[in-house]
Structure 1
Amino acid sequence: MTGALVAGLLAGYGIAIPVGPVGTYLVALTARTSWRVGACAALGIASADGIYALVAAVAGSALAPLLAPIVVPLRWVSVAVLLALAASGGIKAVRRYRAHRLTGITQELPVGALKAYVGMLGMTLLSPMTMIYFAALVLGSGSANSNPAERAVFVIAAFVASASWQLLLAGSGALLGRALTGHRGRLLTALGSSVVIVVLAVRMVA
């Protein structure tokens, strides 16, 4: 049981700690909105990791071959979504700056904590690499042959690890948001976030 716990924690942190486009967007979203919205978005990402961990633990070695034919299309869909988010964020930031009407989360996408959760859940689920990561991890470690209790511990530990890291990112975004109270600061942050997301999205298919 301890082995399953440690394996789950390592798996969760292993997929969560490298900050990619989704993590970057999470920090920027929290900076522009609130800790509550950011926390819900963070839990959406962690929920996707937990779902992938669950499917990987149950299906084991059958996952990677099934996903191989659709990895490239899903990667392009993910890139398209990220580029759309980057463009939308940059355009809205410029418009708000020009109008000198910076708004809160009620005027941002996604609107509200629930939509933040669902939006980030869907965005993370678009990434096939997370599924392949967990499938390869479970197969390589022999977790596919473990008993149901050990699989449950593995999945819960992976979710907790991912959630703790994503909440840390959201917290850093909240602190950043408090520091950027002026119109210019928020504009530069939003544009910088959009540029980073574009670069990371392009690197996914480069």
Structure 2
Amino acid sequence: MRRVSRAINRVLLGATGVVLLGAGGLVLLGGLGLPAKWHLHLPAHWPWSRPDDVLLSAHQRTRWTGQGWWWPVVIAALAVFVLLMLWWLLSQLRRHRVNEILVDSGDGEGATLRGRALEGVLAAESESLEGVDRAGVLLTGRRSEPRVRALLALAPHADPETVVRRLSDEAVAHARRSAGLDRLPADVRLRAVKHRPERVS
């Protein structure tokens, strides 16, 4: 499913790039008056053949503006378009989660391990460390080379250096060995837990 999603994403990006490149080339061609300079014999209906050409005539631009439904439809369509583009942009910027990890089973066939299962084990073992109040773990990277992104909420008495060392030596090391990985890099972010002051009477 993820491969299909990636293929669709690449096709959409490629098609969008081709359309934008073609439109930009047409605008540049007409804006600089290149058809006349290069003596290109373009069809009579060809758009943007001269610098003073426009995409839409005044009649075409104002044809529906007198209708009551026109502006609400235009605004709604543009709003939907902007939201879709923002969603697409955010989906490109965020790091992709690893759904499964390739495990060397030793028989030449290999096996897969669910990424969420390993995340759950890592989070549980991280929370069991002294000084860790809560832990969130996310696997990124590739199936054959996953990476760990961990966010640890530390208790007030916790020693950050000790917590990070134990996380590397225990939780991450256990996960690396159980998954049969040669290496399992980890990016760890720490934040202090803020407790509400309690009133004592």
TM-score of the alignment, normalized to the shorter chain, above 0.5: no
Larger Rg: 2
- TM-score of the superposed pair, with normalisation by structure 1: 0.24
Larger RCO, structure (CA 8 Å, separation 6 or more): 1
More helix by share: 1
More strand by share: 2
